[in-house]
Amino acid sequence: MNLILTGYKCSGKSTIGKILSFKLEKEYIDVDEFIEKQSGLTVREIFEKCGEEYFRILEGDAIRMIHNKNGAIVSTGGGVILLYRNIQRLSKNGAIFYLKISSNTALTRIQNSVSDKRFVDTKNIYKMVETEMMNRIPYYESSCDHKIVAEEKTSEQITDEIIDVILDKYGSSDIFFSLNK
């Protein structure tokens, strides 16, 4: 089984995924990085040159290739939940952890991000974040196995909370990653 991280952009999926990978000694896969490697373009370039619809196709292809892996930590893009088949594939062989943050936290992190992956209209950023989060939260919440409130916590605290969930529910990380869903 895989440990899947979902959540809105800048919720900490990549950071938490890397820390979990190190602590649990498991392979780490970042879906956005996977797409970039496969396409030869950055996520930002794909959005700018080809649009979001094309990116979602690439994302679906990446999920299709990744979902059969076993024993990996997978961080997804913030919009992975927009296509039901992505969640079906990910949940087939994984436990989905939703990293929940507020729109204010997301906005602050996006504005402070030097590596924002897509073009953001700074004049309308607040409205964009509010609208996207309002539309996506029901999908995040209905598709997750575990919700982790990532608000006002350090990366270490979030990582420890995820590990505690695994230990409480499965007894050990070895058992968790060896399971087939």
- C-alpha 119/C-alpha 14 separation (Å) is 19
- C-alpha 167/C-alpha 176 separation (Å) is 8
> What value does the mean pLDDT of the chain take?
91
Query: Above 90 in pLDDT, residue 121?
Result: no
One-character DSSP codes across 99-159: EE--HHHHHHHHHH-SS-SS---GGGHHHHHHHHHHHHHHHHHHH-SEEEE-TT--HHHHH
- C-alpha 21/C-alpha 27 separation (Å) is 6
Predicted local distance difference test score (pLDDT) of residue 172: 87
Residue 86 near residue 80 (C-beta atoms within 8 A): yes
Query: Above 50 in pLDDT, residue 119?
Result: no
Residue range 70-85: average pLDDT?
A: 94
pTM beyond cutoff 0.85: yes
Q: Helix or strand or coil: residue 168? A: helix
Residue range 28-47: average pLDDT?
A: 95
**What are the boundaries of each domain within the chain?**
2-178
- Of 123 and 32, the structure prediction assigns the larger pLDDT to 32
Domain made up of 2-178: CATH architecture: 3-Layer(aba) Sandwich (3.40)
Q: What is the pLDDT of residues 14-30, one digit of tens each?
A: 999 999 999 999 999 99
Residue range 82-100: average pLDDT?
A: 95
Q: What is the pLDDT of residues 125-153, one digit of tens each?
A: 888 899 999 999 999 999 999 999 999 99
Calculate what percentage of the chain has a pLDDT beyond 90.
76
Phi, psi of 63 (to 5 degrees): -60, -40
The position carrying tokens 């409205």 is: 127
